Amino acid sequence: MGVVLVGAQWGDEGKGKMTDFLAAQADIVVRYQGGANAGHTIVISGVEHKLNLIPSGILAGKMSVIAHGMMVDPRLLIDELERMEAAGCNASLLRISDAAHLIMPYHKILDVEEERLRGVNSLGTTGRGIGPASRDKAARWGIRVSDLLRPESFVEKVHVQLRRVNPLLEKIYGVDPLDPEAISREYLEYSEHLRPHVCDTILLLNRSMEQGASVLFEGAQGTMLDLDMGTYPYVTSSNPTSGGVCTGTGVPPTRLSQVIGIAKAYTTRVGDGPFPTELQDHTGDLLRQRGNEYGTATGRPRRCGWLDSVVLRHSVRVNGLDGICLTKIDVLSGMEKIKVADSYACNDAVIDEFPLDQGAFADCHPEYIELAGWDEDISRVRRFADLPGAVRNYVRTVGELAGAPVTHLSVGPGREQTLELEPILRLR
Ligand code: GDP
Ligand code: IMO
Ligand code: MG
């Protein structure tokens, strides 16, 4: 059994929280793409845990797999593992693919320098080296976890890379060249910490699934940040959409049973790029303040706006969503009216499907439907029937506009603040 959780918008939808909630029913939790650009916050018994690389299943005591589709920053991973151990997690549950690519120090420097070079067209990356490392992977220059476990060839590979990268750093970006010996020493020290966790995760996952294990695939980023399906070039350098599960883990599509999209009850985006329903006014500020919309990985304020069902329909289509978990609906309490975009007006035309052509955005304005708000605090409600009528109406309308049923509702950051509306989940 394989259930995929993907972000349906621009990230930070509450994937970590929902993974932690659903992990209780799974045997294994896997991250299949991205790296430390992700920031997943999970609140258990009032205690906040922040994860960048380790799958959220570690907190539920489940085997947690960093599959080969991820980009591993070893220093950050070791720090995170130590933090999780201090929080009472069992570190021996972590598995790391030997084929995952490493984030090297030059990737992070290039990420920052390339952003500077783009100037006004910068993407607003997290600076975690994801773009340059993904580029090296595609160009067949990448250094993988398995290389780190073979010291001699690792040192040789670092030398080769720096022969290529140092002239770039010095001549194009005017920064100091890096010392291959110092990098090798640093990374080989990390290798001893990581070695006990490294294995062939393709075999591990497929054999476990053959024997009946249920696996939860935890997406990072979101559909609109997908390199191919998102708002290119304002995207990340991986495929967070459900197709990324197969290429990022070696688990074939025939083993996946369900795909669930995680969507916030409004929209946020951190970093640059198109965001049709963005509110640069008091309402936007209110959403940021009430939803505490500041990036987990970088602390940047998130851009906020109304829910966009054009985005959700795109997400339902490209991910094949069977259902939607609607999160942070408690944040909308106290809004007199709530808007949801159902189409865009572009010049004289009305379009109701997301344009992948970035040029089309310039003249796009969202067309909204307006729904009644509610004043009640809903964070303690645990049954759909106990919610105010206006909340139930909002949830039903979102499901209809998106074209997929809302299966779960999240009314607060805590594990227990989750309502299961439709018993469609097939983890057991
Ligand atoms: P992720 O990247 O998709 O895992 O999401 P983040 O963790 O970056 O951002 C979601 C934030 O909202 C976190 O701080 C969560 O603790 C919090 N959160 C998740 N679900 C809810 C909810 O239903 N209501 C409220 N108020 N906060 C939530
Ligand atoms: P989670 O998993 C929100 C955004 C960055 C930037 C763009 C490219 O917490 O939802 P990158 O560093 O990946 O090259 O940056 O993608 N971005 C995210 N935005 N949540 C994330 O992860 C993100 N990961 C990357 O802000 O706009
Ligand atoms: Mg996040």
Q: Which two tokens stand for residue 228?
A: 């191919």
Q: Is 40 a catalytic residue?
A: yes
Residue 399 pLDDT > 80, yes or no? yes
Residue 426 pLDDT > 70, yes or no? no
Q: Is 12 a catalytic residue?
A: yes
- Shared domain check, 295 and 211: yes
Task: Report d(CA 263, CA 71) in Å as an integer.
Answer: 25
Q: At what angle do helices 389-402 and 309-319 cross, to 10 degrees?
A: 50
When pLDDT is cut at 50, 70 and 90, the band that residue 425 belongs to is: low
Mean pLDDT of 144-151: 97
Q: In this structure, how many other beta carbons lie within 10 angstroms of the beta carbon of residue 308?
A: 28
Residue 145 Cβ contacting ligand 2 at under 6 Å = no
Instruction: Provide the pLDDT for residue 28.
Output: 98
Choosing from 20, 40, 111, 226, the catalytic residue is 40
- Shared domain check, 239 and 178: no
- Shared domain check, 367 and 229: yes
Residue 132 Cα to ligand 1 midpoint, Å, equals 28
Q: Which position has the higher pLDDT, 24 or 425?
A: 24
Please give all residues whose beta carbon lies within 6 A of any atom in ligand 1, as ranges: 7, 11-17, 39-41, 43, 296, 327-328, 330-331, 410-413
Of all residues in the chain, what percent carry a pLDDT higher than 70? 99
Residue 40, strand partner residues: 51
Instruction: Provide the pLDDT for residue 388.
Output: 97
- Shared domain check, 161 and 232: no
Q: Ligand 1: which residue has its CA nearest to atom 9?
A: 12
Q: Which two tokens stand for residue 13?
A: 């939808």
pLDDT in tens, 253-293: 999 999 999 999 999 999 999 999 999 999 999 999 999 99
Q: Which ligand is nearest to the CA of 16?
A: 1
Sign of the Cα pseudo-torsion (80, 86, 87, 91, in order)? positive
- Shared domain check, 122 and 223: no
When pLDDT is cut at 50, 70 and 90, the band that residue 296 belongs to is: confident
Task: Report d(CA 287, CA 17) in Å as an integer.
Answer: 19
Residue 11 Cβ contacting ligand 2 at under 6 Å = yes
DSSP assignment, residue 158? H
Residue 353 pLDDT > 80, yes or no? yes
Mean pLDDT of 73-101: 98
When pLDDT is cut at 50, 70 and 90, the band that residue 81 belongs to is: very high
Residue 423 pLDDT > 80, yes or no? no
Q: Which ligand is nearest to the CA of 17?
A: 1
Among 142, 175, 196, the domain boundary falls at: 196
Mean pLDDT of 379-387: 96
Residue 112 Cβ contacting ligand 2 at under 6 Å = no
pLDDT in tens, 15-74: 999 999 999 999 999 999 999 999 999 999 999 999 999 999 999 999 999 999 999 999
Q: Is 319 inside a domain boundary?
A: yes
Q: Is 428 inside a domain boundary?
A: no
pLDDT in tens, 314-328: 999 999 999 999 999
When pLDDT is cut at 50, 70 and 90, the band that residue 403 belongs to is: very high
Instruction: Provide the pLDDT for residue 428.
Output: 64
Instruction: Provide the pLDDT for residue 152.
Output: 94
Structurally, the chain folds into a number of domains equal to: 2
Task: Report d(CA 363, CA 361) in Å as an integer.
Answer: 5
What average pLDDT does the chain have? 96
Of all residues in the chain, what percent carry a pLDDT higher than 90? 93
When pLDDT is cut at 50, 70 and 90, the band that residue 298 belongs to is: confident
Is beta strand 28-31 parallel, antiparallel or unpaired with respect to 267-269?
A: unpaired
Q: Ligand 1: which residue has its CA nearest to atom 13?
A: 41
- Shared domain check, 304 and 224: yes
Range of the domain at 141: 101-196
Among 166, 196, 226, the domain boundary falls at: 196
Instruction: Provide the pLDDT for residue 51.
Output: 97
Closest CA to 102 of 65, 128, 63, 64: 128
Residue 148 Cα to ligand 1 midpoint, Å, equals 35
Q: Is 95 inside a domain boundary?
A: no
Gap between the terminal Cα atoms of the chain: 8
